[in-house]
Structure 1
Amino acid sequence: MEFSDLLVILLITAGATKAAAFFVAQARDMSRPEKLTVVTRALAIQAVVLGIFALRGENILDFFHVSVAALEVAGGLVLLLFALQLVLGEDHGDEHGAPPGVSMAVYPLGMPLLASPQSIVAVTIASTRINESGGSTGPLWLALAIVLGLNAAILYGIVFLGGRKQRTEGGFSVAPVLLRVVALLLCALAIEIMALGLRGYGVLPPMPAAQPQASAAH
C-alpha cells in the first residue's frame, strides 16, 4: 500500500471530525482545565489503541480467534448503540461521582469516536498486508502520526479558541441539534460497518457494481 493510500484511509477512519462535533456539544459547560484533561486522555487512548493494533493487530485477532468480519460487526454494534442513545436524547452523566469529563475521555470520545472500529480494522488490515508483502511499516507509522497530530490540533484548537459559553435560561442552543445530526450520521456509519462484516461472513450479498453511464444510456 502506498503512503498516500494509508494517509487517506486513516484520515477517513481515524480523523477527529465526529469526535470534534461531539466534544463541542457535550463539553460546552466545562472549564478549560477539564476540557484539556478530556482531550489529552482521549488522544492518548487513540494513540495507544491504534498503535497496539498497528503493531500486533493480526496477532491479537489470531490469539482470540476473532476474524476481521467479527470485529466489524461487534464494533459497528457498539457504535450503533451509542449513537441511538444520542439520537433518543438519553443522559450520559456519570452516576458514580467521577470528576467531570473523566468518563467522557474514555467513552465515547476515546472509544469508539477517535479509536473507532473502522480505524482499528484499517490499521490491522494495513499492517497485515505490509507484513505479508515483506514491506516496511514506516509509511503506516508516519501516516498514523500525521493523523494523530491533526486530531490533536483540531481538539486542542477547540479548547483554546472555542472559549466557554455561558448557559442561558430559556435560550436556544445549536449544540443539541448538532449532536442529534452527528448521532444520526453515526447510526448510518455503524450500519455500514456491520454490513461490511456481514458481507465478510457471506450473510449479505456483495454490493452491486456501479453501472457505467454509457451502458445506462442505451
Structure 2
Amino acid sequence: MDLWDVFAVLIAVAGPPKVILSFAQLAKGRDRRALRQLAVRTTATAMLCGVVVAMTADPLLHLFHIGHADVEIAGGGIFFVYALRLVLDGHTETPAGSSTDAFRALLLPYVVSPLAMTSIIVLAVTHKGWGWSALVALAYAAVAASNLLTMLALTYVLHRVPRTWIEVAGRLLGLLLAAVGVELLIVGLEGMGVIARSARP
C-alpha cells in the first residue's frame, strides 16, 4: 500500500460525499459567513484530530492492548447508530442557533468520524515507523482540505436548494452509511475469528 492508496481509501470513507449532506443540514437559519466560519473551524479541528490519531495509533493500540478488530467493531457500531438516526430522523443537527450547536452537529459525522478515525488507525499501523504514520496524517489532512473547499463552495448554493431535496438525500445516505457500519462490524468479527464469510464472487 502506497500513499495514493491511502489517499483513495480516506477519500472514500471521509471525503466530501460523507460531509456535504451533514453540512447542508446546517444551512437553515445561518448566513454564508457563519457557514464559512463553521467549515474552517470544523476542518481545522478534524485535521488536528486526524494527525494526532495517525501519529499515536500504534503506541496507543499497544498501550491499551487493542487489536484492529476491536477498533473496527467499535467504529462500526458507532457509525451504524449515527446512520440509523440519520435514516429515522432525517437529520442529526441540533437547532440552529449558536456556533457551538453547529460545531456539535458536525462532531460525529466529520470532526471525529468513527469511520475516518478507524480507517486512520488501521492504515497507520499497516507499516511500522513514524514516517508511514506521517504519510497517513498528510493524506488525511489533504482529504480534510478537499472537504473544506467543497463546503466553502456549497455556501453559495445551499440556500437555493429545496429543503426536501436535502432531507431525501440525507436519508438515502443514511442507508449507505448503515451498510458501511455493518460491514465494519462484520470485518471486525471476522478478524477476531468469531464468524467466517464465504469468498465473495
Match of 1:152 in 2: 148
Letter of the aligned partner of 1:185 in structure 2?
L
Query: Which digits, 9 at most, give the CA deviation of each residue in 1:125-144, with x for residues without a partner?
Result: 33323325x86555434423
The alignment status of 1:186 with 2:184, answered yes or no, reads no
Write the deviation string for residues 87-135 of structure 1: whole angstroms up to 9, x where unpaired: 112775648xx9435234244x233345433322332233323325x86
Give me the whole-angstrom Cα distance separating, in 1, the residues matched to 2:171 and 2:63.
38
Structure 2: unaligned runs, 5 residues or longer: none
Give the structure-2-normalised TM-score: 0.83
Q: Rg bigger for which structure?
A: 1
Give the corresponding residue for 1:213.
none
- Quote the residue 1:74 is aligned against: 74
* Percentage of matched positions with identical amino acids: 24
Alpha carbons 2:76, 2:185 under 8 Å: kept: yes
Residue 128 (structure 2) aligned to one of 126, 131, 138: 131
In structure 1, stretches of 5+ residues that fail to align are: 211-218
Counterpart amino acid of residue 152 in structure 1: L
Structure 1 residues 1-218: aligned runs within 5 Å: 1-89=1-89, 92=92, 94=94, 99-107=97-105, 109-113=106-110, 115-131=112-128, 136-137=132-133, 139-159=135-155, 161-162=156-157, 164-165=159-160, 173-210=164-201
**How far does residue 158 in structure 1 lie from its aligned partner after superposition?**
1.0
CA deviation string 1:27-57 (max 9, x = no partner): 2332223212322232123211210111111
Q: Cα offset for 1:150? A: 1.1
Structure-1 separation of matches of 2:124 and 2:57? 8
1:157 partner letter: A
